[in-house]
Structure 1
Amino acid sequence: MTTPDVDDHAPLLSIIIPTFNEAANIAPLVDAVGAALGAIAWEMIVVDDDSPDHTFDVVAAVGRTHPNVRCIRRVGRRGLASAVIEGALAANGDVVAVMDADFQHDETRLPVMYRTLIDQDADLVVATRYGRGGGVGDWDPTRVAISDLATRMGRMLIGDATTDPMSGFFMVRRAVLAASVYDLSLQGYKILLDIISSSPRRLRIAEVPYIFRGRREGESKIGPMVFAEFLFLLIEKLSRGLIPPRFVLFCIVGGLGLGIHLVILNGLGLLGFGFLPSQISAIAGAMLFNYVLNNEFTYRDKRLTGVNAVVGAFAFAIVCSIGALANVGVAELAIRQTDNWSIAGIAGAVMGAVFNFGAATSLIWGRRAKRRRKAAA
């Protein structure tokens, strides 16, 4: 069998661009990256989460004149971390760069990062805002403080491996990702922290400074959930996977639901309603509240809409009702064994929470994925 000739134009560098509503930035970014990289053979893989502004169509149009640009359009799933890994697994280059589409990451640093990775035989090059020569641009004091706090928390997980563990701009050897892909959390936006903490060996990390720029087009994706997902990533990694981040958020929602339950119960009592109708109304209100928040936040990557959302609400109520029975059953067993109300109550609550989480994840927010897998088979 003859060995095929090596394509001189095969990409050395694959650039992964996770996107959501970045249509206006795609064409300028492709031109800017091409100008920056010069003779370095590269490809760009845009991983788009089914953007309402049809970013995927713009990428397809650009790809007709730039064969090294392609798009992975994801339908029914979301998240920057998983988008990055999906793009990296489809990459042809031995080196993978990750950057945003909005020009906040300085594309002119790409060739410097590539040369640093090769010359220093590094596994990973981090574009840092906090090394000498780097900066955060025109951030306000509040954002600077939040970033500083997140950086300190990130170092709890990886120590002093890098000055900027929260950077979303980095370059890594594809083999490094392949070695840790099954251990990645894929939670939230901080994929660099996930990669470093999940590696089976200590990585050789180099840094290149850059100055963070303002967004050119579109709207920022930064919000409370970004920081919350970062906290969940820390919890999962520090617990070595024993505590799933989604379960943490599910329990937080449950705690808020308890507050809603008490507000409705006592409010109806003040209005003169009896305990039983007030309790039933409070249970229904808390269940609906919990379902809406879980659908919007806990399972936002599997969010139910339309008729599925209505069906899901009824299914959630059934699951929670069965969970309540499990709660009572375990609490009754515990009180017989310990004769301690507090221990029995906690045991019942934990059982109810675990049952509700497992059943909801599998039966409510897992139904569509199972149908897709069945159809594909």
Structure 2
Amino acid sequence: MFDEVSSGTKAAQISIIVPTYNESKNILQVLKSIEENLPKNATAQTIVVDDNSPDGTGKIVEEYLQSVKKLANHTIDIIHRKTKEGLSSAILKGIQYATGNTIVVMDSDLSHPPNLLPKMLDALKHTKYDIVIASRYVKGGSIDGWTLKRKIMSKTATFIAKHGLGVSAKDPMSGFFAFRRQVIQGLKFDAIGYKMLLEILVKKKNAKILEIPYTFTNRKFGSSKLDFRTVTDYLRAVWNLYRHGKAAAREEKRPSVGFLSKAGRFYSIGAIGLGINYLISSLFSGVVTHLWYIHATIIGIVVSMTSNFVLNKMWTFEDRDFTPKHTLIQYGKFIGFSSLGALAQIGMVYLLVDQYRIDYPIALITAVFCAALSNFILNKKWTFKEKVWS
């Protein structure tokens, strides 16, 4: 059942879904730009899904619909939702209302250029691809206007998606994508968080994907929706998608699937640990206190190792036994194997560079890979008592 909808829609070939929340300064330019870049001979509908924006975004769209001349091949509809329910659920609402066989999802803050629409739609029309992703991370793609913190968060989320959930796309966190409607037939969506594409990619592993490069431009007006709740919603979504993947792996009964899945999660947590290490070390070396940088770094290492242990215990190896003795023994083993891996990495780098005259970058990559693999296998077998190949 939909909330209040203003519509003059007839069946369309293309449905473009534009979720909005407090985008009063951007929405009209977005709608006009979409109109300018639509294929000439195609019937299209643009669906604005507004979460009761306090800045009057929904009302602005309503007034625009009353003033603009209606076109034969393009209609604009607006779905008014009563509360702020989240980006993924807004997209799902738009999909349920859409009449097109081709569906496009894009942001309403001008970060997604509508002039890329013809290329994306043409790729779906004339190729066998099921999903076309506007990608920031393929060759030719880029990001303009992000802070270092935002870039690190994006890269970390992408790393988790690719290695923790086994997604092959280079930009699975993109919010700008197009797909054939039949791709999602029969899928049950959780609609948690803000990345509907990631859910489709995980639940539709056999979909054929094309990534087209584009430059993501940071918004000029309004404020970013990225906050603490966005991060926690993403982690919830990842957890649900991991459970979905685990159930699928059990059905396939292939040990390699379980091994690679857990290895991916283990290394994803390692990437999170690097971020925690950097954050904690930075805080103690100048923001919160002014400790000597070596002391601050040691604190960062201890905190990141501890967080890595807890996350691996709960997520990677799904061990829910937190009795003190059991947990302390596991913690000691985890720290021991992690430290052993670090020493092995240093020793291997020295051996390859000093004894075999191998270039340092190659030696470092080799050592990191070997240390990380041995760290995972040792913790899998001895800390969490699992079979290695499972």
Which TM bucket (shorter chain)?
Answer: 0.5 to 0.7
Please list the CA deviations of residues 248-293 of structure 1 after superposition, one character each: whole Å capped at 9, or x if unmatched: xxxxxxxxxxxxxxxxxxxxxxxxxxxxxxxxxxxxxxxxxxxxxx
Note the aligned Cα RMSD (angstroms): 2.4
Unmatched segments (≥5 aa) in structure 1: 1-8, 244-340, 344-377
Deviations along 1:189-245, whole A, 9 cap, x unmatched? 11110111123x5111111111001213211111122121111111111123999xx
The residue type equivalent to 2:200 in the other structure is I
**1:188 corresponds to:** 193
Match of 1:85 in 2: 92
Find the aligned partners of 2:129 and 2:224 in 1 and give their Cα distance: 32
Q: Is the 8 A contact 1:117 1:206 kept in 2?
A: no
**Which residue does 1:11 correspond to in 2?**
12
Distance 1:170 1:227 in 2: 21
Secondary structure at the aligned position of 1:70 is classed as strand
**Does 1:26 pair with 2:27?**
yes
SS of equivalent to 1:227: helix
State the distance in 2 between where 1:157 and 1:192 align.
16
2:234 equivalent in structure 1: 230
Once the two structures are superposed, the pairs formed by residues 361-372 of structure 1 within 5 Å of their partners are none
2:172 aligns to what?
165
Q: What are the equivalent positions in structure 2 for 1:193-272 lying under 5 Å apart?
A: 193-199=198-204, 202-240=206-244
Quote the Cα distance in structure 2 between the aligned partners of 1:205 and 1:132.
16
Structure 1 match to 2:65? 63
2:30–2:110 contact (8 Å) kept in structure 1: yes
Q: Which residue is 1:41 aligned to?
A: 43
Instruction: Tell me which amino acid in the other structure corresponds to 2:30.
Output: L
Aligned residue type for 1:191? M
Find the counterpart in structure 2 of residue 6 from structure 1.
none
2:5 aligned residue: none
State whether residues 132 and 179 of structure 2, in contact with CA within 8 Å, keep that contact through their aligned partners in structure 1.
yes
CA distance in 2 between counterparts of 1:242 and 1:158 reads 10
One-letter identity of the residue aligned with 2:239? I
Residue of structure 1 in register with 2:356 after alignment: none
Give, in whole Å, the separation in 2 of the partners of 1:107 and 1:134.
15
Q: Which amino acid counterpart does residue 163 of structure 1 have in structure 2? A: K
Q: 1:120 aligns with which of 127, 132, 136?
A: 127
Asked if the contact 2:161–2:167 (Cα under 8 Å) also holds between the matched residues in 1, the reply is: no
Residue by residue, what CA displacement relative to the aligned partner does 1:140-183 show, whole Å, maximum 9, x if unpaired? 22221111111110013543521101101100112222331x2x
Equivalent-residue separation in structure 2 for 1:241 and 1:72 (angstroms)? 33
**Cα distance change on mapping 1:69 and 1:242 into 2, 3 Å:** same
Residue 91 (structure 1) shift: 0.6
Q: Which residue of 2 aligns with 1:174?
A: 181
Find the aligned partners of 2:45 and 2:191 in 1 and give their Cα distance: 23
| Cα distance in structure 1, aligned partners of 2:143 and 2:69 | 32
Deviation at 1:11, TM superposition (A): 2.5
TM-score w.r.t. the length of structure 2 is: 0.57
Query: Stretches of 4+ moved more than 3 A in 1?
Result: none
Aligned residue for 1:126, secondary structure, equals: strand
Secondary structure of 1:155 counterpart: helix
Deviations 1:305-347 (A, max 9, x none): xxxxxxxxxxxxxxxxxxxxxxxxxxxxxxxxxxxx969xxxx
Q: Tell me how far apart the structure 1 counterparts of residues 196 and 13 of structure 2 sit (CA, whole Å).
A: 22
Does the 8 A contact of 2:194 with 2:230 survive in 1? yes
Aligned length: 236
1:101 shift after superposition: 0.6
State the SS of the aligned residue for 1:24: coil
Give the letter aligned to residue 90 of structure 1: Y
